[in-house]
Amino acid sequence: MSGGQPAKLRIFSLNCWGIRYLSQHCVQRYEMIGELLSREEHDLALLQEVWSEKDFLFLKKTLASTHPHSHYFKSGVIGSGLAVFSRHRIHDAFLYRFSLNGYPYMLHHGDWFGGKAVGMVIVNICGLTAHVYVTHLHAEYCREKDGYLPHRVVQAWELQQFVRHTSRGADVVILGGDLNMHPQDLGNRLVRAYTGLRDCYTDTDKFDGCDEGVTLIADNPFTNKKELIPFEKGIRIDYILFKGSKTVRVKCESLTTTKGSFPGKPFPFSDHEALSAELLVERTQEAQDNEGTQDGYSPDALPELVDTVTEARMELKVGLHLARRMRHTAGRTGAMGLVLLLLELAIAAVPWLALGTEQPFPRASFYLLGALCLAVLLTALPLYAFHTAQVKALQGAEDQMSLAAGSLQEALRGRATTAGQQGELNSRATPGPLDPEE
């Protein structure tokens, strides 16, 4: 882009709810999604929960003429579910897997097996380098008793770190996906304040979609209504975030979302609503000051950022305390199983050491108790290892936040000192009232 007329970028984001054999009408919905993307010809389509590689390959074949460039991010046991389709050549791709992602024994939730992550692709659009990110954070499940909140805060922390450290030198930065967080949730504030990314919904000139921009609505027949209590209108957990650079101005001209059922279709595309944003990108002649510092955040946001990081640290300390308790319980249970197993072996050795002595316990009960002790030991050991890794991840994130909080507070004090010195200079430069005798 050589200047003059702004370039238009059309971005699409959707959680496809593509769990084969479990999600309703999965095959038909992917056909509908492919048809929509072929017709609309967005520059970039950022998809989540494409759990089956067969479905990705189907979309790749369907979109071969309109979106010839694509990348599927593989992670975890069943994959990250993240995919990008682009009209522009993808020059590079990278995946960062979050260090915490739920619990492996929570089989009915299944997030741990998905290997939640953030994927990045680098594309060149109209002469501009765009760093594009797609992500999917851990689900909430129960807002009143959210046992996954510390994990999601760590994911948000790692997400903002990844975006900040990999987007330096980019002309345009775009992040889309299912964050599983309300707009004012802690993790959401952490990501936006640290990176300087702006929300298409709050920054758009034109919006057409559900009230308050919600993307999980009661009118969608695939939605679990219990998840929306007490939010009658629904919740907004899917986002398209963006920012420019010192020499590139980015503006959201319009944002639209689907509204449950789609005209002419028997059912919606997914249990989430799809987002479609139109961005205006323009190279400027002069450097801008409103796109934040090299670190991403604006100096004016320092006080809010200090409070947000402090709040995040407190939340991680709560999660750390719980993780240590769970590790202690697993360790104590494993030790008990080991002691009982050793006692069983000692009893079993009695007939061998004292010839002629019979086994004091019935053989069937003896073997059953031994099997139970072994099962307890084999179950407790991996749980102890898992919770130890969880403690280390939480402690590591809290240590990083401690360093960041210290740096932010120092910057805040330096800014206050500079402002005080400037005020003192201004007061000295201002002439005082004249003495009547002079």
* Per-residue model confidence as pLDDT tens digits over 307-366: 999 999 999 999 999 999 999 999 999 999 999 888 888 877 766 666 556 666 677 777
The tens digit of pLDDT for each residue in 253-268 reads 999 999 988 778 889 9
Helix axes 26-40, 53-62, angle to 10 degrees: 30
Q: What are phi and psi of 44, to 5 degrees?
A: -140, 135
Q: How far apart, in whole angstroms, are the C-alpha atoms of residue 82 and residue 114?
A: 10
| Poorest-pLDDT segment among 322-336, 362-376, 378-392 | 362-376
pLDDT at 231 over 60: yes
Q: Give 82's pLDDT tier (boundaries 50, 70, 90).
A: very high
Over residues 362-372, the mean pLDDT reads 81
Q: Is the peptide bond before 351 cis (omega within 30 degrees of 0)?
A: no
Model pLDDT, residue 438: 42
Q: CA angle, 111 as apex, 10 and 199 as ends, to 5°?
A: 30
Q: State the CB neighbour count (10 A cutoff) for residue 114.
A: 23
Q: Percent of the chain at pLDDT above 90?
A: 66
Read off the tokens for 434: 């004249």
Q: Which of 4-8, 90-94, 301-305 has the lowest mean pLDDT?
A: 4-8
Closest by Cα among 267, 275, 159 to 220: 267
Task: Determine the Cα–Cα distance for residues 261 and 365; give it in Å rounded to an integer.
Answer: 60
pLDDT digits (tens, 9 = 90+) for 98-150: 999 999 988 888 888 888 999 999 999 989 999 999 999 999 988 888 989 99
Q: Has residue 157 got a pLDDT over 80?
A: yes
Type of residue at 256: T
Q: What is the mean pLDDT of the chain?
A: 89
Hey, which residues does 15 pair with through a beta bridge? 48
**Which of 72, 51, 75, 76 shows the shortest CA–CA distance to 63?**
72
Question: What is the CA 171 to chain-centroid distance, rounded?
Answer: 23
Mean pLDDT on 30-36: 96
Catalytic residues: 272
CA–CA dist 99, 428 (Å, integer)? 54
At residue 333, the pLDDT reads 95
Backbone angles phi and psi of 131, in degrees to 5? -100, 115
- Which comes out higher in pLDDT, residue 283 or 300? 283
How far apart (Å, rounded) are the C-alpha atoms in residues 202 and 235? 15
Looking at residue 285, what is its pLDDT? 75
Q: Which fold has domain 7-297?
A: Deoxyribonuclease I; Chain A (3.60.10)
For the record, the structure tokens of 215 come out as: 């993307």
Q: Average pLDDT, stretch 25-35?
A: 95
* C-alpha closest to that of 13 among 178, 125, 159: 178
